[in-house]
Structure 1
């Protein structure tokens, strides 16, 4: 992707966060899933770290090698006109410099936005929440990397307090808000309090921040209309689309195994339809 296209997609992606309705982002994992959602009319897409890892034969949670992720991003971005946001988990590095290197590489691969989270997994696979100041330095490094390439990517800072139940429950919201403010002052453009689904708390957070707040489609999350009324600006479908696809394949596999009925392989979506998804785009 040339520099002009990279800048144009990044600017488009930033603008989509300011629309009259929340930005609904389908989370994809390969070129095929990305083109299906783009063809359906979605103006921007995002990767799911879990779905990309599964598609490449790894578990979620930092096991996918960075170079395999970047190769997958490049394959997805190559077939899209829509901007693509990339879930970089914790930035694939223990130092801010390494995070900066990852962000620069993701931009070169075609990212118009990135997610960076304040949690990580240690060598034993246990979750660890980074200190807020450490995350501040990592976000500053990410923004500096984007500025050095002169590509205005949207940095979505994810905080994992609610997802993992970190700290006392009564202090969790205040800590999330404090981290959100710090992250926004450190180069982030939006915040992603993943795991926060309580409508009253979401409304409080949105009212307290002047930047886009992201919610994820997880059990207990309100519907789109209510999220919009609460002030949520961006909604990720998370692992939902990947699980839908996996379930469809699983049911097909079971039907073939149990009945041998080849008609389960017939769908209205044809070979020609699939080929058309990857025809050269003007």
Structure 2
């Protein structure tokens, strides 16, 4: 283990408090050491969260558990070692063994994680969330599980009311086995957010903000615990890189105000 159990336990407790505070927790997702250090140095950053899509892309893999688990653990471990802030890792669906994957992640300094249900049968999904909580307990920390349901991500053309009901049912089941929060990615409107907060309780819903999402201030008013940004932060960086390259190749110059952040 990279840190003493007491230090990891303290970081896990800090991360849990950040989720339960009335002030919404915003995590600007990172994918490597330099992005982690850059975001950690921004005033107002209280925790870091990795984006599995971004880590996979940076290492040449397609999203969706195509990256070997060893590479993902190594990547999130380097990020955790580069900061004193608590780090939550996006560990997809656990790479075939969520309990063992989380045990390994704790071993490199991770104190929280997203775990996807991928809309498996509910009993199977609950079992995988329960295994994550048990792994944290076995390692001596109250692991901060941001249990993800893919009800909206995999909704297709289903009735939106049925999709929302699925998210509620699954989220309640994950909270019942010890999840800290329920992560419901998707472009959620105010009705969906309000329904989910009422079902789970205040500061129990975690969302992703994408173009068109509700503003962070409104999500805080509605009782949301956490906002993340997934692969969009890497896309922002790559868009800036692409735009700069176009300018340079057209006889331009580097953008004014560029900082030596690396």
TM range (shorter): over 0.9
Kept in 1, the 8 Å contact 2:52–2:92? The answer is yes
Larger RCO, structures 1/2 (Cα 8 Å, 6+ apart)? 2
Which residue, 199, 208, 221 being the options, matches 1:216? 208
Q: Give the alignment partner of residue 37 of structure 2, picking from 20, 35, 38.
A: 35
Partners of 1:29 and 1:48 within 8 A in 2: yes
Counterparts of 1:138-217 in structure 2, within 5 Å, are 138-165=128-155, 167-210=158-201, 212-217=204-209
Partner SS for 2:250: helix
Give the total of aligned pairs.
Answer: 257
The separation in 2 between residues aligned to 1:51 and 1:5, in whole angstroms, is: 28
Q: Distance in 2 between matches of 1:13 and 1:170?
A: 32
Q: Do the aligned residues in 2 keep the contact of 1:196 with 1:202 (CA within 8 Å)?
A: no
Q: 1:265 to 1:222 in 2, by over 3 A?
A: closer
Please give the TM-score of this superposition, normalised by the length of structure 1.
0.87
Identify unmatched segments of 5+ residues in structure 1. Answer: 120-128, 275-282
Distance of aligned partners of 1:196 and 1:240 in 2 relative to their CA distance in 1, 3 Å threshold: closer
Q: Which of 84, 89, 98 is matched with 1:86 structurally?
A: 89
Is 1:75 the counterpart of 2:78? The answer is yes
Query: What is the 5 A alignment of 1:1-282?
Result: 1-2=2-3, 3-41=5-43, 42-93=45-96, 98-119=97-118, 129-165=119-155, 167-210=158-201, 212-259=204-251, 261=252, 263-264=253-254, 267-270=257-260, 274=262
SS at match of 2:98: helix
Which runs of at least 4 in structure 1 moved beyond 6 Å after TM superposition?
Answer: none
CA distance in 2, matches of 1:230, 1:179: 20
User: How far off its partner does 1:220 sit?
Assistant: 2.7
Change (3 A) 1:248 1:268: closer
Deviations 1:116-157 (A, max 9, x none): 0111xxxxxxxxx31111001111111111110011110011
Q: Is the 8 A contact 1:6 1:110 kept in 2?
A: yes
8 A Cα contact 1:30 1:52, kept in partner: yes
SS at match of 2:153: helix
| Residues 207-232 of structure 1, C-alpha deviations (whole Å, 9 max, x = no match) | 12136100101233110111111111
Query: 5+ residue gaps in structure 2?
Result: none
Check the 8 A contact 2:9/2:142 in 1, yes or no: yes
**CA positional deviation for 1:173:** 1.1
Contact residue 197 and residue 220 of structure 1 kept, 8 A? no
> For the residues of structure 2 that align with 1:61 and 1:182, how far apart are their CA atoms?
24
Larger Rg: 1
User: Which SS does the other structure have where 1:90 is aligned?
Assistant: coil
Counterpart Cα distance in 2 of 1:203 and 1:30:
34
Tell me by how many angstroms 1:267 deviates.
Answer: 4.4
Whole-angstrom CA distance in 2 between matches of 1:100 and 1:233: 24
Deviates more, 1:81-90 or 1:214-223: 214-223
